[in-house]
Structure 1
Amino acid sequence: MPSSPCGPNCVEAVDRVGTARLAGRLAQVAGLLVSFPVVNAITPRGRREAVQRGYAQALLGCLGMRLRVVDNRVAAATVSETARPDLVSHIGTALRRDDRGARDGADPVRFAPKDTGVLVITGHIGWTDVVVLAAVQPLGFVARADLIDWPLLGRLAKLMRIIPIEREKLRALPGVVDTIAGRLAAGDRIAAFPEGTTWCGRAFGRMRPALFQAAVDAGAYVQPVRLRYLDRDGAQCTVCGFVGEDTFASSAARILRSRGMVAEITLEPLEYPGLDRRDLARRCENAVRGSVPSRHGGADTEWIEASATRVQDPAPAVPQRAPGQRGPGMRRRAVALFRGRGRDAKSVRIG
């Protein structure tokens, strides 16, 4: 079972707000959680995504966080194929030909257009990760099964149609993979945390390949996301780390008392699914981690054994493509994902 060496010593305090501000935040959070199910139910389906995104952003604000989104996808797609012979190079021409990109924040950054199935993956730091991702664009989540029973997030988890996973029951993992693949094929955006457990944010574990099989089965692209929490001085902080023997109550109290935090999301170029989930996991891990070292390293974690899942690394039924070669169908789907985006990498501040 995946494990993390992070514990209470990893979590550092930041500047705190006063008692009055804390009480105000608690009241605001309570108001949002009570009103959201009602507002969501009476909102027409076509407008619910905007409402859900707005509530997620408001909840971040009540927790004392600002959201910063950096989109590296379009800048990478404009690089010539000679300089970057991979997936994103094939859509650069289409982006330049169909540039309706947002300017001055008129069009929010999104993971993918509506009804486009994409697997969003990132490292797992704490329960606030779910709120941060939903503040970019609402999506379903693969989450611990007991999240539904949590006092604050349980109701939201049900509304977001989470896909529950029990870490102690690896025999149920093939069913989870099938469910994710089905949702992706139906055009849902699904977020997953392939490390299998939470880390403090400065340290991280390896991304296990099991959940990536869903993207391979569905032929869905994967959106790697780099997620960091920063203090008011711009330094990476660990306040949101839900590690060790931490409880939801103590974690929520710590976050609500914090001042000036920023949740930073960086969208890296899409990864094509390919035929090998292990290769896909490595590519996504490299995209998310880059050259950043982990404080604890990866020695204390374990990979989910392939024998515990429905599939082994598949023997190719068709000839493998060369490393730089992409199928035309994948190129067309990639172009569709990016149509309507701008030419340049963009940083968006919300809140």
Structure 2
Amino acid sequence: MQQGWRYTRLVLHLLRGILTTALVFPWVSLDRRGRLRQHWSKGLLALLGIVPRFSGAELACPALLIANHVSWVDIFAINTLSPSAFVSKADVRQWPVIGWLAAMNETVFLQRGSRGHARIINAEIATHMAAGRHVAVFPEGTTTDGSHVQHFHAALLQPAIAAGQPVQALAVCYRTPNGEFTRAAAYDGDLSVLDSLKAIIATPRIEVHLTVLPAIATTDANRRDIAAQAHAAISAVVNPPDAADIAPVREAALDYLVDSAALT
């Protein structure tokens, strides 16, 4: 009964988001849209029983945010931290309702394999950052169960380098209230969004931890080196050598990136 009521509230929350996007967004500024999106994302996490936990460095603004990718929930967790324009694969634009919502919420659609389209997308991302906004990408290009970090596609960092804007890494971890790893929010493998949603609803409480790592300057920088630095730092938080002692590894990752940024 309680889970049924939560599903009902989620549907009503989604309808609220659709109506706000359709009736309010066309008449308000981008900043106002961002604040509305942030508020809606906070409400969604609350309805899902997911508590956001933020730690680490201050967010640079503007910046290209790069994060490991575990779940569809990642987008709303990052939007709760800071309203961001996300880079998504182009076919999402064709999805019913979702594609329209994504487009109305500043999503940048990337058609992979097209150099001409990549130049257009790079210019669009640079425009967002020039306006003082955050753009977020998931450089793994896929999702995991959250226990590890896959290879980063360095080409996705090029817009920040071309625009001379910093890159800032975010480590995304899903934990139980006692700090243990959980894959309850995962959206990987053959799982559908509905399967993932059911697993989340069936879990009494989940914490999504977003660790903000120091921004990396892109002036005279190589995108492969930046991708490697960010990957190492995120991996140290997500999957440290000793999972029982995360804090020292996290501090070492922060020190490493501070030193690296100072040398760029």
Q: Would you call these one fold, judging by a TM-score over 0.5? A: yes
Looking at structure 2, the residues matched to 163 and 281 of structure 1 have their Cα atoms a distance apart, in angstroms, of 20
Looking at structure 1, the residues matched to 114 and 240 of structure 2 have their Cα atoms a distance apart, in angstroms, of 27
Displacement of 1:128: 0.9
**1:30 alignment partner AA:** V
1:24 corresponding residue in structure 2: 5
> Which of these residues, 173, 186, 190, is aligned with residue 131 of structure 2?
186
**1:73 alignment partner AA:** A
1:288 corresponding residue in structure 2: 234
**1:177 alignment partner AA:** N
Query: In structure 1, the residue corresponding to 2:199 is in which secondary structure?
Result: helix
Matched, 1:208 2:192: no
> Which of these residues, 29, 33, 46, is aligned with residue 61 of structure 1?
46
**CA 325–67 in structure 1, closer or farther in 2 if over 3 Å, else same:** closer
Question: Which has more helix, going by share of residues?
Answer: 2
1:3 corresponding residue in structure 2: none
2:214 corresponding residue in structure 1: 269
Kept in 2, the 8 Å contact 1:204–1:294? The answer is no
Matches within 5 A, 1:313-328: 324-325=262-263
> Cα deviations across residues 102-126 of structure 1 (Å, max 9, x unaligned)?
xxxxxxxxx44xxx43101100112
**2:227 alignment partner AA:** A
Range 56-65 or range 23-32, more displaced: 23-32
Matched, 1:73 2:19: no
1:278 corresponding residue in structure 2: 224
Looking at structure 2, the residues matched to 132 and 151 of structure 1 have their Cα atoms a distance apart, in angstroms, of 23
> Which of these residues, 126, 129, 134, is aligned with residue 79 of structure 2?
134
Displacement of 1:293: 4.6
Displacement of 1:268: 1.2
> Cα deviations across residues 120-173 of structure 1 (Å, max 9, x unaligned)?
110011211111111111110011333345567444312212112345x45554
Displacement of 1:57: 0.5
Kept in 2, the 8 Å contact 1:142–1:190? The answer is yes
**2:52 alignment partner AA:** L
1:308 corresponding residue in structure 2: none
> Cα deviations across residues 265-319 of structure 1 (Å, max 9, x unaligned)?
1111111113311111112222222276589xxxxxxxxxxxxxxxxxxxxxxxx
> Cα deviations across residues 213-264 of structure 1 (Å, max 9, x unaligned)?
1110011111211111112332111122221222222222222222211111
Higher RCO by CA contacts (8 Å cutoff, separation 6 or greater): 1
Query: In structure 2, the residue corresponding to 1:210 is in which secondary structure?
Result: helix
Looking at structure 1, the residues matched to 104 and 176 of structure 2 have their Cα atoms a distance apart, in angstroms, of 31
Looking at structure 2, the residues matched to 238 and 135 of structure 1 have their Cα atoms a distance apart, in angstroms, of 21
Matches within 5 A, 1:238-277: 238-275=183-220, 276-277=222-223
TM-score by length of 2: 0.80
Matched, 1:195 2:140: yes
Q: How many residues align?
A: 240
**CA 22–155 in structure 1, closer or farther in 2 if over 3 Å, else same:** farther
Kept in 2, the 8 Å contact 1:33–1:152? The answer is no
Structure 1, unmatched stretches of 5+, are 1-19, 75-110, 296-321, 327-351
Structure 2, unmatched stretches of 5+, are 242-259
**1:60 alignment partner AA:** L
Q: Percent identity?
A: 25
Kept in 2, the 8 Å contact 1:274–1:280? The answer is no
2:165 corresponding residue in structure 1: 220
Looking at structure 2, the residues matched to 293 and 262 of structure 1 have their Cα atoms a distance apart, in angstroms, of 16
Q: Radius of gyration: which is bigger?
A: 1
Displacement of 1:184: 2.1
